[in-house]
Amino acid sequence: MKSLNCILGVSIFLLAACDDNNSRHQAELTVDELGAGRYSVSVGSEDAPSIGKYYADSGNNGFILLEGDDGKASQIYRRTESGSWSALPDITADTRVRFINSVPILGQGSALTSLPLSYVMKTPSGKVAKFTLGSNGHLTAGETDCQVSGDVSEGDLGNVFTVSLMTQNCDLSESSNGVLLIDNDYQPAVFRMILDADNAVLDLWAYEE
């Protein structure tokens, strides 16, 4: 009986060790990288591709935006100076981002000082917010119940700005961080803000008022 108890004890220990190792496994993210620049890209299969944008500088900074069938941002990948990529939302299985098509985007350089002053946007719940974006990067709330404010600053990637957003009465997180993107493909919108909202992607489009 002691031998049987010992065998059972060892078996349970080994199973527990295996479960612990599995729980510590982190999904690996691999990205087929492109050269410095801006690109329109598609990933997945030829039959059902996901389209998006790829931005990279001459260092290690990179940003990938992929859209769902509704044209809204569904997945983003970011690479920092350390050279490692991260995903939003988090991936739960090993993932490889492979581009089946990539087309360089030429020109389209923009600065905050060249953008319009006044904007209007609608939240996913249908609330409307008016705000201004000054040449100093300050977002100032307008006279709407949904209040949007924050700061925008130039980043290391062309036409990709860093944004810190604060909201009130908008059915959104009170504060969130992300990027502001400018692209001719987004017209008539002037820009869109892609934000991290509690490990989900929030996609807000801003139009000149």
pLDDT tens by residue, 89-131 = 999 999 999 999 999 988 767 788 888 999 999 999 999 999 9
Alpha carbon dihedral 8, 11, 17, 20, in 10-degree steps, equals -80
AA letter at 80: T
Average pLDDT along the chain: 86
Looking at residue 196, its pLDDT comes to 94
pLDDT tens by residue, 167-208 = 999 999 999 999 999 988 899 999 999 999 888 999 999 999
pLDDT tens by residue, 125-143 = 999 999 999 999 999 999 9
Are 31 and 77 a contacting pair, CB within 8 Å? yes
Whether the full predicted model's pTM is greater than 0.85, yes or no, is: no
Are 60 and 49 a contacting pair, CB within 8 Å? no
State the DSSP string of 140-183. Answer: EE-SSSSEEEEEEEEEEETTEEEEEEEEESSSS-SEEEEEEE--
Strands 160-168 and 62-67: unpaired
Looking at residue 158, its pLDDT comes to 72
Looking at residue 8, its pLDDT comes to 36
Confidence of residue 18 (pLDDT cuts 50, 70, 90): very low
